[in-house]
Chains A and B, each alone.
Chain A
């Protein structure tokens, strides 16, 4: 191999090496660019991931806040619904037992509490379990005998919750109630704490929130208020029952007394009736003999004797009148007076009486007026007896009305019960108020100048009232001294009206 060939070979090798070197340098330079690009891309991806993570963090925190708000809102909503429902129910309860019957454990379960205990002090000061969820009798026995709990109830004025209780009390509550998460609220009344409402959970299955604390406190207050109301109602109810019992007993006593009085009254009437009959027979003889003597049938008598005999006759007449009145009263009171009821024209009845008494009234210089409404037609009465009422009242009015005075017979429109109210009014001297109460008592006569001069028995008004009552009507009087007196009495317009009303009813009214 010559040197030229060798040089050519070496030159070729050198060329190849240089080319390879150039290619190597080129390719290294190109890869470095790709690597740089890849590194940049990688950085971008990492940055994106980190951004994604930051966004996720934001999402989680927002989600947490929303979840907390929703949980609290859910709980508050539940609580408010439950509180409203429960408050409405217990506020309508009329007894303590009913309050707690209406309180259901479901309310507290809805709020997420698995342990519930409501204890209140009864009126006998004993602690009573009112509502219990999850506590066994053994635990309740321990609870109720615990002195610390008793002290706690007496002194508690605000709620304790697992969020705010001082450590010592908290430990005691956890030990007693076996619940780490709780609200213990006093049942407060005006007289202090009456018991407690306890709700809780052994574990933090449902955390106690501010809403729970508020709700249980409000509910405990509501229970206290309802207990006070129920106790007040019970006391009022008991008093009312006692009063009713007393009234009932007293009514029985009065009825018995009334029966006794009626019996006595009947015996008295019977006695008066018997005595009157016995008196009337000899009195008739006395009058007869006096009349014979006055007439001179057994010889002329001296004037002085005649005068005496005339007085005997007059007094005998008065006595007969008195006995007749007594007999009438006795008959009516004992129900032995036979009444002959019928329908009579009001106008006729009143005018008959007026005609009878007009001479006396006119003679005294008194004016007699009659005011009867147009629509009044008939009354259902015993004509002769009813006339006696009118006559009695008109006679009295005439007696006590001075000259130039007026006597008015009037009638008011028919009442709903089918009775007409008649009135006999005068412009006489009037009756003092104290005497008005005694006016219808037997033998009572108002102490005035006229009565002192005019004889009377004090039986006329009693008889008039008895006759009115025998018509199932009533009689009363209004008077003013120096102005005048008005007597009122009612009479039935029909047999139906008479039949639908009894004497007892009228008296009661």
Chain B
């Protein structure tokens, strides 16, 4: 895919994710939106690394332009971090569901 198309897709994903995060009242939906937005940010970094007709940044794959390796390394780190935060927030949702019997933001917000 072209770098420009990929970055447009990435930015659209970020917007879509944030929109879901804002509009939905269910915490699980919110987390899904957040995850889509985070995926968009990661795709954005990959798109930044892309060059026209690029090959992977591995030695011995022939001549020609290669992709920028540094954003790829950053993406690797960012993916793991997002996985970790998602796991932790889902665990908190499980906990709140068990204790408060609700996943609705407005109900969770009521003073207890």
| A in complex with B | no
Interface residues of chain B, those whose CB is within 8 Å of chain A, are: none
Interface residues of chain A, those whose CB is within 8 Å of chain B, are: none
